[in-house]
């Protein structure tokens, strides 16, 4: 009985906190319904059990919402689905990085890659960017602490990226001689 009471209280507080995030996200055209918030809290419990994690307080989802609400790749039609997946990815990589990285560092890293490398592709974020970074963190890399997780991926990226300026200069030479 006590466990159910605690869970109910935690979910009520979490529901209220999630609904409060709408004040910050509405300017980006994003809003949660109470049903959305309930689903997110339910999935939070499932993911925590699956990942064998314990968490007290409101959880990471309000911070995910605030970090990602201005994303060019999130709109109302994919908002809840994206939040659920980001929550799952976050907890997975907290485990993968052996809790060496702070929540803020991981969120900053995730957002930066989501926007600039992954172009909103959650599979690429999870399976490539975070996988490479987690491998480096497990091997002892700690440079992300100075940058709070920002500007780190290029150190581990195995894919050669386009240099727009170089491409444009070559194109100018080819076309205009």
Domain boundaries, the chain: 1-69, 97-177
- The alpha-helical segments, DSSP class H, found in the chain are 2-20, 22-25, 34-51, 61-68, 79-96, 103-116, 122-124, 130-138, 144-147, 164-176
pLDDT at residue number 151: 84
Q: What is the pLDDT of residues 122-143, one digit of tens each?
A: 999 999 999 999 999 999 998 8
Q: What is the pLDDT of residues 47-89, one digit of tens each?
A: 999 999 887 777 899 999 999 999 999 999 999 999 999 999 9
pLDDT at residue number 167: 64
d(CA 15, CA 101): 27
Helix axes 79-96, 34-51, angle to 10 degrees: 20
With a threshold of 0.75, does the pTM exceed it? yes
Is the per-residue pLDDT at 114 higher than 90? yes
Confidence of residue 163 (pLDDT cuts 50, 70, 90): low
Select from 105, 124, 104 the least CA-distant residue to 115: 124
């Amino acid at each position: 009985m006590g466990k159910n009471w605690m869970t109910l209280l935690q979910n009520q507080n979490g529901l209220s906190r999630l609904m409060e995030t709408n004040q910050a996200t509405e300017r980006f055209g994003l809003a949660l319904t109470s049903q959305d918030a309930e689903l997110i809290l339910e999935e939070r419990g499932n993911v925590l059990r699956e990942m064998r994690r314990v968490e007290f307080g409101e959880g990471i989802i309000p911070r995910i919402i605030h970090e990602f609400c201005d994303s060019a790749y999130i709109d109302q039609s994919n908002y809840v689905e994206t939040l659920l997946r980001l929550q799952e990815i976050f907890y997975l990589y907290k485990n993968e990085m052996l809790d060496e990285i702070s929540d803020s560092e991981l969120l900053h890293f995730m957002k930066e890659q989501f926007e600039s490398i992954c172009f909103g592709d959650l599979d690429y974020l999870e399976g490539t960017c975070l996988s490479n970074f987690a491998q480096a963190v497990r091997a002892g890399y700690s440079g992300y602490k100075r940058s709070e997780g920002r500007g780190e991926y290029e150190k581990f990226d195995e894919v050669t990226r386009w240099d727009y300026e170089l491409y444009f200069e070559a194109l100018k030479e080819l076309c205009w001689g």
